[in-house]
Structure 1
Amino acid sequence: MNLIAAIAAKEQSCLKKTKLKHSNSMAANRLAPHLRCYSVGDQDWVAATSEDEARRVLAEMNGDDPAEYADWDVELTSDKTLDMQWTDEDPPHAQCGCLRDWLKEATEPTYQMGTE
């Protein structure tokens, strides 16, 4: 095989790998749930697909029966709150991120942040 043919074969191989990676990425995105950030109760934020799921995620994280959370208030988080920078409660109180960034990173329903 001459040099030009070898380069062409290598380019074809790279192109196939790139297409496969892109295809797998698109499939993963289609399978991932549409997560939104919910405020649950007065002080917790959860990535979930529904209000009921947000209650369940919080209940399971706390080791409680989800039925105990059935009447808890759940609301979609406002854009202002999604973009609010959180800071570490311990000195030097460094910024640790925002709910919007954590929501983008979430791949499944999960607890995101809370205050006491």
Structure 2
Amino acid sequence: MRPQQQQQQQPMQQMNVANNILNGIPVAPPLAIFNQTTINQQRTTINQQETIISQQQTIISQQQTKINELEQENIQLREKNEKLERDFQQLKFEFKILLMKIKDMESPPQWWTGM
């Protein structure tokens, strides 16, 4: 009897699915298709995220290269500034010496003022 019951149930199940489709009621796809679709969507999402991460890593690498270049330039400018500061201090010192020599040249010699 069981085989007869199964035969009677199969057409009824098929009929319900057909009625649901005709009535516009969504019918779930078989689980294997649903799972495969979900897996494919997840793979697509992962691939997109990997592409984004790769692009971000490229951008970060380029930015790090630029940062390194700017740090090198900053070091060179700092060294140049320090050299200019030393040169300026040296020139200031030499200028003071020149001013003192000029003052000495402008003032009459001591033997002259003594007369």
The question of a shared fold, defined as TM-score above 0.5 by the shorter chain, is answered with no
Please give the range of the TM-score, normalised by the shorter of the 2 chains.
0.3 to 0.5
The answer to which structure has the higher helix fraction is 2
TM-score (norm 2): 0.35
The answer to which structure has the higher strand fraction is 1
